[in-house]
Structure 1
Amino acid sequence: MVATEFMSTEKNNLIFGIHAVEMALKAGDQVTEIWLQKDAQNKRLLNLLMAVEKSGLRINRVSLQDLDRLCNERHQGVVASIHAVHLKSEKDLKVALKQWDKPLILILDCIEDPRNLGACLRSADAAGVTAVVFGKDKSASITPITHKTAAGAVEHLELFQVTNLVRAIEAIKEAGVWVYGTALDEASMDIYQADLTGPVAIILGNEGKGLRHLVKQSCDHLIHIPMAGEVQSLNVSVATGVALFEVVRQRNLA
């Protein structure tokens, strides 16, 4: 089906960029409609058009200017509408904890930048995490920017958005999961000296302030990534990748 008029669309249900749309299409029934640059010559975009035509989805062939009005980010000639991401609750988390065997859980404490959130989710998917848990307040939500940066990870992760992060952490601990908070603190240990081979949750804190006090108090242990240079901190998404893949490394050697 081809149309030239934009439908009324919730902005937060839009994704953009060739790779993000390709991954959403592969995820199944995520995509509901697509807007594609009508005079595009990009080979990847034309291949995407062929895939969409085969799927039977509604295709809107529109001008570059129309796409710019629909999405003010670097869209690469394609924007898609998707079903709202299903974020599970704290209640769902408590049920899931009873079913997981030696989980690897990523907990994000007040990550404010949607790009950082997306990059953390991309690392989480690559590391094969069991679930990602984050709060409703003072945290970025799943936006089109998050989808773009996550490069398809959003559609494949178990995402839990909770009202009270400390309470969720306590539930995770009660399920027999060891909770490690990342913090450059006198009480923290070198991440490479910590035993991360069991059921583990890793907490990453806010881009500027790190872990909140109550969250830090809720941890079983504090860990840090040793720095060889003058810089004493990493971007939160980079730190997420380092921490998660250290868990993966240790588990592979165990």
Structure 2
Amino acid sequence: MAANNRRMSGKKGAQVGSGGQRRKGLEGKGPTPPAEMRKGHKKNRIATAKTKQATRRPVVRGRGGKSASELVVGRNPVVEALREGVPASTLYVQQFIDNDERVREALQLAAERGGINLMEAPRPELDRMTNNLNHQGLVLQVPPYEYAHPEDLAAAAYDEGEDPLVVALDGVTDPRNLGAVVRSVSAFGGHGVVVPERRSAGMTAGAWKTSAGTAARTPVARATNLTRALEAYKKAGITVVGLAADGEVELGDLQALDGPVVIVVGSEGKGLSRLVGETCDFRVRIPMPGGAESLNAGVAAGIVLYEAARRRS
């Protein structure tokens, strides 16, 4: 009997039903994600390895110099950057992310743009990349900006048979101001913008966005020392004009805008630094009947560039 009981105990009995729970496995899960986002796929493993390598973000310097790559973090900032055409090399998407409208739009924009790598990464990796910022599962990598050399701006103008019209920024630290200046230079036929290497705004995603795409055709040069760069311009026969609220010459009386000129704009608060101010051939003021003490750097540059373009035409 004992042996018989053992045989009986080994038989399969009645099984409890699933109650319809298994039907969920038959439901559609939407379109198949790209190979780079499918866990276990060869392309996913390659993408993960590239993620770790790309997030080191080295700084490379050449004649003009390259900035470090930049990360745009968060769903809204990433979507806005892609909408504005900010250059991007890689879109990082968190594994198992909630697929809302912003995520879908970011993926669609990246696919339509072309040339943007799509990489899936686990949350801890994105946390490390962003220093624990609230990335919301989306991170966009902006490639290093390739700065020109200050001499290249004047050389390009002469090659086109034109007198150089360049704007130099002294102590302007807001990337949006830099983007606005780049936009004005492009609008009024200028040949580029010069920024110092230190204590100055660079061509970040914010600057690209404010430039409304004009940064793609208006070069920005980086000077190791702005004073020396301005002195080099002067030796090349280019007049250096600094904007100052207490300038000796009023804008309407300045004749130098007809020829090769560099317009130097200081910060809204401090204006031109002492050495830069002493290097300028003229210190020029913009008349302000309304009584404002100063103008935003982007606005001031736009006014002078308009006047220069009007005279040259």
**TM-score normalized by the length of structure 1:** 0.75
Cα distance 1:92–1:126, how it changes in 2: closer, same or farther (>3 A)? closer
Aligned to 2:111: 53
Paired AA for residue 110 in structure 2: V
Any idea what the Cα deviations from partners look like across 1:152-187, whole Å, max 9, x if unmatched? 333322111111212211221222222211012251
In the alignment, the residues of structure 1 paired with residue 304 and residue 148 of structure 2 have an alpha-carbon distance, to the nearest angstrom, of: 24
In the alignment, the residues of structure 1 paired with residue 189 and residue 98 of structure 2 have an alpha-carbon distance, to the nearest angstrom, of: 38
Cα distance 1:205–1:74, how it changes in 2: closer, same or farther (>3 A)? farther
Q: Tell me the secondary structure at the aligned position of residue 248 of structure 1.
A: helix
Paired AA for residue 120 in structure 1: V
Cα distance 1:207–1:162, how it changes in 2: closer, same or farther (>3 A)? same
Aligned to 2:71: 14
In the alignment, the residues of structure 2 paired with residue 220 and residue 135 of structure 1 have an alpha-carbon distance, to the nearest angstrom, of: 19
1:87–1:160 CA contact under 8 A, matched in 2: yes
The CA deviation at 1:210 is 0.7
Does residue 293 of structure 2 align to residue 232 of structure 1? yes
> Which of 1 and 2 has higher RCO (CA within 8 Å, sep 6+)?
1
The CA deviation at 1:112 is 1.8
Does residue 186 of structure 2 align to residue 142 of structure 1? no
Q: Tell me the secondary structure at the aligned position of residue 161 of structure 1.
A: strand
**TM-score normalized by the length of structure 2:** 0.63
The CA deviation at 1:203 is 0.7
Tell me the percent identity.
33
Q: Tell me the secondary structure at the aligned position of residue 102 of structure 1.
A: coil
Any idea what the Cα deviations from partners look like across 1:121-141, whole Å, max 9, x if unmatched? 232233332011111122123
The CA deviation at 1:31 is 2.8
Paired AA for residue 214 in structure 1: L
Cα distance 1:128–1:97, how it changes in 2: closer, same or farther (>3 A)? closer
The CA deviation at 1:90 is 4.7
Aligned to 2:229: 168
Q: Tell me the secondary structure at the aligned position of residue 125 of structure 1.
A: helix
In the alignment, the residues of structure 1 paired with residue 134 and residue 305 of structure 2 have an alpha-carbon distance, to the nearest angstrom, of: 30
2:241–2:263 CA contact under 8 A, matched in 1: yes
Aligned to 1:126: 187
Cα distance 1:156–1:59, how it changes in 2: closer, same or farther (>3 A)? same
Paired AA for residue 239 in structure 2: W
1:179–1:203 CA contact under 8 A, matched in 2: yes
2:247–2:284 CA contact under 8 A, matched in 1: no
Structure having the higher Rg: 2
In the alignment, the residues of structure 1 paired with residue 98 and residue 183 of structure 2 have an alpha-carbon distance, to the nearest angstrom, of: 31
The CA deviation at 1:97 is 6.8
1:71–1:79 CA contact under 8 A, matched in 2: no
Q: Tell me the secondary structure at the aligned position of residue 31 of structure 1.
A: coil
Paired AA for residue 113 in structure 1: D
In the alignment, the residues of structure 1 paired with residue 287 and residue 254 of structure 2 have an alpha-carbon distance, to the nearest angstrom, of: 12
Any idea what the Cα deviations from partners look like across 1:91-121, whole Å, max 9, x if unmatched? 6567557646312101111112223222222
1:3–1:58 CA contact under 8 A, matched in 2: no
In the alignment, the residues of structure 2 paired with residue 38 and residue 154 of structure 1 have an alpha-carbon distance, to the nearest angstrom, of: 34
In the alignment, the residues of structure 1 paired with residue 37 and residue 202 of structure 2 have an alpha-carbon distance, to the nearest angstrom, of: 31
Aligned to 1:194: 254
Aligned to 2:89: 32
In the alignment, the residues of structure 2 paired with residue 7 and residue 116 of structure 1 have an alpha-carbon distance, to the nearest angstrom, of: 32
Aligned residue pair count? 243
1:18–1:78 CA contact under 8 A, matched in 2: no
